[in-house]
Amino acid sequence: MRRLVRFTLAALAVVTASGLGVLPGGTGVAVAQPDLSASGVVPVPFSQAWRRCDFSKFEYTGPDSYGRVFSQFRVAGGELVVDVQMATGVPNTPYDVRVIQLPRASAAGCAAGDPGVLAATLFTDAAGGGAVTVRGPIASGATGVWASVTRPSPMSQTPQEFYTTDFIVSF
């Protein structure tokens, strides 16, 4: 019995010291969002998460594709520049690329041409690879930016393929 108590206390001490314990307020590691003003180029990976215009995730939509998307965000000449590269996409296919500046309301649209949205089309080659550079003005009052790559569905409003940045890049 005494050995079990000592083992339990030792395990509890390790969990608490490592920050894995459940405490009000949390004890996890804080990670700052990348900031474009602090560095020249910010590399940003994508994942298969479908998001609303305010960067919140849609529920019950999971990954169903195999593309790998990567981007680099930077500011050049007072403009926002985003280089997007895709590998293993559907060959010979157009993808819609949108760069969405925040803050924006969840009800606000983020289609091509909407305020604070930069858009371009990425075309894949016969091997499923492609790249595009999206550039445009930084919206007044913008504090962050994220990107979305989608392949529209002819039969649904849900895209056949969707990739979004894993985090918001701050200005």
Q: Give yes or no: residues 70 and 25 share one domain.
A: no
User: What are the Cα distances from residue 3, in Å, to 6, 8, 10, 15, 17?
Assistant: 5, 9, 11, 18, 21
Q: Give pLDDT < 50 ranges for the chain.
A: 5, 15, 17-30
Q: Do 44 and 17 lie in a common domain?
A: no
Question: What's the pLDDT at 12?
Answer: 53
CA separation for the pair 157, 116 (Å, rounded): 22
pLDDT of residue 25: 43
Summarize pLDDT for 11-21 with one digit per residue, the tens: 555 545 444 44
**Amino acid 13: pLDDT:** 53
Same domain, 116 and 139: yes
Alpha-carbon distance of 110 to 159, in angstroms, equals 14
pLDDT at 38: 67
Alpha carbons within 13 A on the beta-carbon side of 58: 15
Per-residue pLDDT reduced to its tens digit, 127-146: 999 999 999 999 999 999 99
Number of independent structural domains in the chain = 2
Backbone angles phi, psi at 62, to 5 degrees: -110, 175
Supply the pTM of this predicted model.
0.77
Task: List Cα–Cα distances, 106 to 47, 109, 127, in angstroms.
Answer: 20, 8, 36
Structural domain range at position 5: 1-30
Residue 71 CA to residue 24 CA, distance in Å, equals 36
Query: Do 22 and 78 have their domain in common?
Result: no
3-state secondary structure 25-51: CCCCCCCCCCECCCCCEEEEEEECCCE
Q: Are residues 39 and 62 in the same domain?
A: yes
Shared domain check, 98 and 23: no
Q: What is the pLDDT of residue 156?
A: 87
